[in-house]
Amino acid sequence: MSPSERPPAAPGAARAKVNLYLRILGRRDDGYHRLDSLVAFADLADRLSAEPAASLSLSVDGTYAGQCGAQADNLVWRAAQLLADHARIPPAVKLSLTKNIPVAAGLGGGSADAAAALRLLAANWGVPLDRPELYALALRLGADVPVCLAGRASLIGGIGEELRPAPALPRAGLVLANPGQALATAAVFASLGGKFQPATEKLSAMPDAAALAAQMRARGNGLTEAALRLCPAIGAVLAQLRALPGALMAQMSGSGASCFALFADAAAARQAAAALSARHPGWFVHGGELIG
């Protein structure tokens, strides 16, 4: 199946996002940072469902349900309230979230959940998805929510609100790994210390996974050093990923602590993930396919 033939995500699917590269260009006067990034998605996803109810409620289950914190802080809850206020309708819905993506892991799980809530509830409540206001709402929930709402590989600018379609990405296998340590995005940016990078040149054609890996390796992740200061275990994760048979490259995703490695295909990635998980049973490890 070619990338264009892949079935789209279900309305309630909240796919983990992967920053294939991430450069921090500077800091605005309001404290937000300007980004240059290529974001794609993993075949790992949280799941969200909705059904009519007398009032707003949210239940959470799954592997990482215990990491979600207070209900009022959950981005699904906040997205439902925000969209209802925008549409001037009561948030009468029962939401159920299955949490498969680690929290505070650099994989945009909360942002993906918020985007899934906006998509699902916009469809249920008749709020058009193509309205610019919906993307403005997404940005109010977090810098990663707009790209998760778009749900396709994108080049990111601004603080996350500037989205451009990514060039065609080849099929590639993907291994995600996290040492089991949460890492707050704000803390990583605070540790950055004003060390910024210039924007990159235009991406060239990427006919295969090796070409994709070479260009992503060259661009890197500008938050890695800052994240390593707060979570040295990231260094061990990167070393283990780079040592996996068939790994084309490995680097950190987002603000960490999750890292990823690219492979020629999903089968190689799953085999490598199984070996890594056996060596580090306390880590979160996922092997599968990169979704462009």
81's CB contacts (< 8 A; 6+ apart) are: 56, 91
289's CB contacts (< 8 A; 6+ apart) are: 42, 43, 171, 172, 173, 174, 266, 269
DSSP 123-189: HHHT--TT-HHHHHHHHHH-TTHHHHHHTS-EEEETTTTEEEEPPPPPP-EEEEEE-S----HHHHH
Annotation says 94 is catalytic? no
What's the gap between Cα 75 and its chain centre?
A: 14
Annotation says 144 is catalytic? yes
Catalytic residue among 36, 43, 113, 144: 144
41's CB contacts (< 8 A; 6+ apart) are: 15, 16, 17, 18, 151, 153, 290, 291, 292
Active site residues: 17, 144
